[in-house]
Amino acid sequence: MPTLAFGGAEDLLLGPAEVFQERMQVLADTVPNGNGRVLLFPGLGHVPHLERPDIIVPALVDYLMEGVE
């Protein structure tokens, strides 16, 4: 099943933003059959969907619409 791991590229929940970014990639890499994908939003933190819904929601809708005919 395709799986999207999304978040703010500047999330400091796990310490430096680079640590969060690396962990998100590890998460996506664990999805079987290469179906994991990471989508990080520059300049946003731990709750990007609340920080900038105008950017996040369209990106999520685009992801959900992939493959829909």
- In sequence order, which residues have a C-beta less than 8 Å from that of residue 20 and are 6 or more positions away? 7, 11, 12, 13, 14
Residue 33: helix, strand or coil by DSSP?
helix
Q: Which domain holds residue 14?
A: 3-65
Q: How many CB atoms lie within 10 A of CB 18?
A: 10
Instruction: Tell me the pLDDT of the chain (69 aa) as tens digits.
Output: 999 999 999 999 999 999 999 999 999 999 999 999 999 999 999 999 999 999 999 999 999 999 776
What's the number of domains the chain is made of?
1
Q: What is the DSSP letter of 45?
A: -
- pTM, 2 dp: 0.87
